[in-house]
Amino acid sequence: MQRRIGRPGPRQPNAETNSLRKEMQRGMVLMEELVGVSSCVLGDMASRPNFGLNELDFVFSTLVVGSIMNFVLMYLLAPTISSSSQSLPAIFASSPTSHMFEPGAYSLLNKLGTFVYKGTLFAAVGFTAGLFGTALSNGLIMMRKKMDLNFKTLNKPPPTVLNAITWSIHMGFSSNFRYQTLNGIEFLLAKGVSPVVFKSSIVVLRCLNNILGGMSFMILARLTGSQSVDQNEVGTIDEGSAEEKEELVDEAGELQSEPTSK
Residues 213 and 239 in one domain: no
Residues 260 and 210 in one domain: no
Confidence (pLDDT) at 260: 47
Q: Which domain holds residue 129?
A: 15-229
Q: How confident is the model at residue 229 (pLDDT cuts 50, 70, 90)?
A: confident
Q: What is the pLDDT of residues 75-101, one digit of tens each?
A: 655 544 444 446 677 788 888 888 888
Residues 187 and 258 in one domain: no
Residues 201 and 236 in one domain: no
| Number of separate domains in the chain | 2
Residues 239 and 212 in one domain: no
How does the average pLDDT of the chain come out, rounded? 77
Domain assignment of residue 160, yes or no: yes
**Pairwise CA distance, residues 103 & 186, whole Å:** 12
What is the torsional sign of CA 122, 164, 61, 53? positive
Q: What is the pLDDT of residues 127-186, one digit of tens each?
A: 999 999 999 999 988 998 888 888 888 788 899 999 999 999 999 999 999 988 888 888
Least confident of 161-170, 172-181, 214-223, 245-254: 245-254
Residues 149 and 238 in one domain: no
Average pLDDT over residues 254-258: 56
- Given its phi and psi angles, is residue 7 left (phi above 0), alpha (psi -120 to 50 degrees) or beta? beta
Measured in degrees and rounded to the nearest 5, phi and psi for residue 159 equal -60, 130
Domain assignment of residue 159, yes or no: yes
